[in-house]
């Protein structure tokens, strides 16, 4: 086997004088950072559009190459205090390198450590100076100053650049001003402690956010970067991006499948949990589909590639999860809007606290300036701004790992307030493939004879009912005799000659037209149709021989799903179907559905969904993502089923990547838990801020306590949000 060299890759696209870049930013650990970068890049001449996805740390920018270059954009990012990591298109062989910079090589970590060392030495010398009068104040002040300068270099540079390039007052600038102000009024210990604690908090926040990003990035790591390909009788190891549809890929036991394709040789069981969330491995043999990122467990497989790497189900899931992170939930939009007005108001308040008492009431400047500096630090909105996105992204990542694709925070929030769930029947609550349920012979005949004759007539039929009869005959080891002169009778059935007689399979009306006595058959048909089954008569021109009934089988998970929804406090479960009244009633009774509506066309389903929204409020519609697309769009939340099919992924707000309906109650519970944690985070962040601000005026709040309150609140809401990853 030969190794072929991979070609260089880039996420940059260019056409004419326009270029689009996707850059991965390092050191961005709060939503305020994303806003700062977005504004800073947006102010560059020639930049047409820019979007920063904070949770994935990615920047997408479109610009005029004649006015601005890629290096200029990178320089601006670095000037704002962040870095740009090497990036590669998804999936990559080593995607972790895209996001992670080792702690040892991170300059901000090194300066934080140095500041801590200076602070510790200064504190020891200060103590010695008090007890022995042996250490001059200038020495300790110099060490405190060194701690402020070294530890505050990156925050100050970042804050000044943000103010200069994007007109943003950020946490870095406010903290730097507070530290400098503390030193100016002789509070050297306070100033150095503020800078050190702030830098440590930034590092911890960065680590916590990295955990969230790794949860999303784990999806990328599912697919291997290379695969063994057979071309022209020779085997090569190629990067997956060089593999094209039609190539034959060889997959050994224990390997991850690198591409979407169809098995051409071999048989094995495949763990599809990474894509569909299914806990039980799926058996695969020639003709079966396999998906990139799934795991071949037992036998060797040869797979014919059906999609390019960027079009696989896994790649589409990754793109949609990343897009979902960028779609803000309503609560997040509210918090961000609040924060934009909040920071300028805080700065104005701090100026008033520092100036009004000394100027108008004859108070000393020092204590009020100190309180103003404490207010600047404690009022930074970091915890509030980050409270929602970290929870939303953690929940979306959890859902993706469990085979549920949620396309945005708005849909996640909506799912938590669902009061009614409406289901399509065929292919959703049922398997979508009819099966024979009853074979009932007439007097003087046997069930085997009925099935044999029905299978002989339907041997060449492509009708779903005919295929169901043939499957039942094969399963029962019934060998159908040869039949000649087959003819379809549209709307009535079919006929063929077998065993020297002409046999008919069809509706009761067909036999009435033939003049056959049908009283006994009609009684059986009425009973079967009352049970929601479709029944056909088997007979000749002289008599009816028996009846065969077929029905679409319920999914094994349908009963558990309906129970789970009711346990999740969904008020009403409704079935909307185009099937007849009798079938709908039978399935409704079997599943314990609250309400059903039958004989519906697609437009009728839309009207039914709109009526449910008027009567009950938020409605979820669950369908197969194809025929039910209008109803899915009309619902508060559209939920599609399908193992990664393009229609299921593109149509709905939420897609169940396997056909396991039990994922639906799980999704609603996850949504409600997410909403609960978001409310906890927002409430906690606001409470901490209000208590700290209240402590400013009597002078109870020191600068270092202000930093602890601000950073501590951020870490608490991040940790609380990360619980949703479990």
List, in order of start, the domains of the chain with CATH numbers: 2-103 (3.30.70.100), 226-311 (2.70.150.10), 431-553 (3.40.1110.10)
Supply the pLDDT for residue 90.
38
State pLDDT tens for residues 529-567.
888 788 899 999 999 999 999 988 888 889 999 999 999
CB 66 within 8 A of CB 38: no
> Which neighbouring-strand residues pair with 283?
269
Helix (H, G, I), strand (E, B) or coil at 534: strand
| Per-residue pLDDT at 178 exceeds 70 | yes
Supply the pLDDT for residue 576.
92
Residue 32 burial (CB count, 10 A): 24
One-character DSSP codes across 21-60: EEEEEES--SHHHHHHHHHHHHTSTTEEEEEEETTTTEEE
Residue 707 burial (CB count, 10 A): 27
One-character DSSP codes across 396-446: HHHHHHTTEEE--HHHHHHHHT--EEEEEIIIIIEEEEEEEEEEEEPTT--
- Give residue 714's region: left, alpha or beta (phi > 0; psi -120 to 50): alpha
> Which neighbouring-strand residues pair with 282?
270
One-character DSSP codes across 592-623: T-SEEE-S--HHHHHHHHHHHHHHHS-EEEEE
- Mean pLDDT over all residues of the chain? 81
First to last CA, the chain: 42
State pLDDT tens for residues 236-281.
898 888 899 999 999 998 888 988 999 999 988 888 766 665 556 7
- Give residue 26's region: left, alpha or beta (phi > 0; psi -120 to 50): beta
How far apart are alpha carbons 227 and 240 in whole angstroms? 6
Q: Which of these ranges, 203-217, 272-286, 569-583, has the smallest mean pLDDT?
A: 203-217
Supply the pLDDT for residue 615.
92
Instruction: Indicate the pairing of strand 572-576 with strand 420-424.
Output: parallel
Residue 234 burial (CB count, 10 A): 9
- Give residue 618's region: left, alpha or beta (phi > 0; psi -120 to 50): beta
Between 413 and 81, where is the model more confident? 413
Supply the pLDDT for residue 100.
38
What is the band of 366 on the pLDDT scale with cuts at 50, 70, 90?
confident
Q: Quick one: average pLDDT of 175-179?
A: 81
Distances (CA, A) of 338 to 30, 134, 712: 16, 52, 21
Supply the pLDDT for residue 433.
79
- Tokens 């979508």, residue located: 432
> Which neighbouring-strand residues pair with 117?
none
CB 412 within 8 A of CB 389: no
Q: Quick one: average pLDDT of 141-168?
A: 84
- Tokens 């402690």, residue located: 193
State pLDDT tens for residues 650-699.
667 888 877 788 999 999 999 999 999 999 998 998 888 888 888 888 87
What is the band of 479 on the pLDDT scale with cuts at 50, 70, 90?
confident
| Per-residue pLDDT at 9 exceeds 50 | no
| Per-residue pLDDT at 27 exceeds 80 | no
Supply the pLDDT for residue 327.
54
Q: What is the dihedral of CA 133, 139, 144, 149, to 10 degrees?
A: 180
Percent of the chain residues past pLDDT 70, beyond the cut: 83
**Positions marked catalytic:** 424
Q: Could you tell me the pTM of the whole model?
A: 0.66
How far apart are alpha carbons 112 and 684 in whole angstroms? 28
Q: Quick one: average pLDDT of 452-466?
A: 85
CA angle 140, 141, 146 (to 5 degrees): 95
What is the band of 95 on the pLDDT scale with cuts at 50, 70, 90?
very low
Between 279 and 353, where is the model more confident? 353
Supply the pLDDT for residue 3.
43
In 3D space, the residue among 37, 721, 24 whose CA is nearest the CA of residue 386 turns out to be 721
DSSP letter, residue 493? E
Between 552 and 447, where is the model more confident? 447
Instruction: Indicate the pairing of strand 301-305 with strand 261-265.
Output: antiparallel
Supply the pLDDT for residue 322.
61
In 3D space, the residue among 503, 507, 497 whose CA is nearest the CA of residue 543 turns out to be 503
Q: Quick one: average pLDDT of 119-141?
A: 73
| Per-residue pLDDT at 485 exceeds 50 | yes
State pLDDT tens for residues 690-722.
888 888 888 788 877 887 887 788 888 888 988
Mark 84-103 as b/e (b = at least 16 C-beta within 10 Å): beebbebbbeebeebbebee
Q: Which two tokens stand for residue 90?
A: 């998804």
Between 101 and 685, where is the model more confident? 685
Supply the pLDDT for residue 28.
73
What is the band of 404 on the pLDDT scale with cuts at 50, 70, 90?
confident
Residue 489: is it exposed, middle or buried by C-beta count within 10 angstroms (0-12/13-18/19+)?
A: middle
Report the greatest alpha carbon distance in the chain.
124
């Amino acid at each position: 086997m030969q190794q072929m060299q991979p070609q260089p890759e880039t996420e940059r696209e260019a056409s004419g004088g326009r270029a689009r870049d996707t850059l991965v930013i390092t050191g961005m650990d709060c939503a305020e950072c994303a806003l700062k970068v977005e504004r800073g890049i947006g102010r560059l001449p020639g930049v047409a559009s820019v979007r920063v996805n904070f949770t994935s740390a990615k920047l997408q920018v479109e610009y005029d190459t004649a006015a601005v270059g890629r290096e200029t954009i990178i320089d601006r990012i670095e000037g704002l205090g962040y870095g740009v990591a090497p990036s590669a298109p998804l999936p990559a062989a080593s995607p972790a390198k895209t996001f992670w910079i080792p702690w040892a090589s991170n300059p901000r970590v090194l300066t934080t450590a140095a500041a801590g060392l200076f602070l510790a030495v200064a504190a020891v010398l200060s103590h010695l100076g008090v007890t022995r009068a042996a250490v001059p104040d200038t020495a300790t002040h110099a060490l405190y100053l060194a701690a402020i300068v070294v530890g505050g270099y990156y925050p100050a540079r970042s804050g000044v650049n943000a103010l200069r390039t994007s007109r943003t007052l950020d946490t870095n600038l406010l903290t730097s001003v507070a530290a400098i102000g503390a030193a100016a009024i002789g509070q050297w210990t306070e100033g150095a402690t503020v800078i050190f604690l702030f830098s440590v908090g930034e590092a911890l926040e960065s680590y916590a956010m990295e955990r969230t990003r790794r949860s999303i990035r784990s999806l990328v790591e599912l697919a291997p970067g290379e695969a063994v390909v057979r071309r022209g009788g020779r085997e090569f190891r190629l990067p997956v991006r060089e593999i094209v549809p039609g190539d034959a890929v060889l997959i050994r036991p224990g390997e991850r499948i690198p591409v979407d394709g169809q098995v051409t040789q071999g048989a094995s069981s495949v763990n599809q949990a990474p894509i569909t969330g299914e806990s039980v491995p799926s058996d695969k043999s020639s003709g079966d589909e396999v998906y990139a990122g799934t795991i071949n467990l037992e036998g060797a497989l040869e797979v014919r590639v059906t999609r390019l790497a960027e079009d696989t189900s896994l790649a589409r899931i990754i793109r949609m999860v990343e897009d979902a992170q960028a779609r803000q939930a309503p609560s997040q939009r509210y918090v961000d809007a609040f924060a934009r007005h909040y920071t300028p108001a805080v700065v104005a308040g701090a100026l008033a606290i520092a100036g009004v008492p000394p100027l108008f009431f004859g108070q000393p400047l020092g204590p009020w300036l100190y309180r103003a500096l404490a207010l600047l630090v404690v009022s930074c909105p970091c915890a509030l701004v980050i409270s929602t996105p970290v929870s939303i992204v953690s929940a979306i990542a959890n859902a993706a790992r469990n085979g549920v694709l949620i396309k945005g925070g708005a849909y996640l929030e909506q799912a938590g307030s669902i009061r009614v769930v409406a289901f399509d029947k065929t292919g959703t609550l049922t398997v979508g493939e009819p099966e024979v349920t009853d074979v009932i012979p007439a007097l003087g005949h046997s069930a085997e004879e009925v099935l044999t004759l029905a299978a002989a007539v339907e041997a060449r039929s492509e009708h779903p009912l005919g295929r169901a009869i043939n499957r039942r005959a094969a399963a029962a080891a019934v060998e159908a005799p040869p039949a000649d002169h087959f003819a379809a009778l549209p709307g009535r059935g079919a006929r063929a000659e077998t065993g020297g007689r002409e046999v008919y399979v069809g509706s009761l009306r067909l036999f009435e037209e033939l003049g056959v006595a049908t009283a006994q058959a009609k009684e059986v048909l009425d009973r079967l149709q009352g049970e929601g089954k479709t029944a056909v008569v088997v007979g000749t021109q002289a008599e009816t021989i028996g009846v065969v009934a077929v029905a679409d089988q319920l999914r094994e998970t349908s009963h558990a799903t309906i129970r789970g929804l009711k346990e999740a406090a969904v008020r009403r479960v409704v079935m909307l179907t185009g099937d007849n009244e009798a079938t709908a009633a039978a399935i409704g009774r079997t599943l314990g559905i609250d309400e059903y509506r039958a004989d519906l066309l697609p437009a009728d389903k839309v009207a039914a969904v709109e009526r449910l929204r008027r009567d009950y409020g938020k409605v979820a519609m669950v369908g197969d993502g194809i025929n039910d697309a209008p109803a899915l769009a009309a619902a508060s939340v559209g939920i599609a089923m399908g193992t990664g099919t393009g229609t299921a992924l593109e149509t709905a707000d939420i897609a169940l990547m396997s056909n396991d309906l039990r994922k639906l109650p799980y999704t609603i519970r996850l949504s409600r838990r997410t909403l609960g944690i978001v409310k906890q985070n927002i409430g906690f962040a606001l409470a901490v801020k209000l208590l700290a601000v209240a402590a400013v005026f009597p002078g109870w709040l020191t600068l270092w306590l202000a930093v602890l309150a601000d950073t501590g609140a951020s870490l608490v809401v991040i940790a609380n949000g990360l619980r949703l990853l479990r």
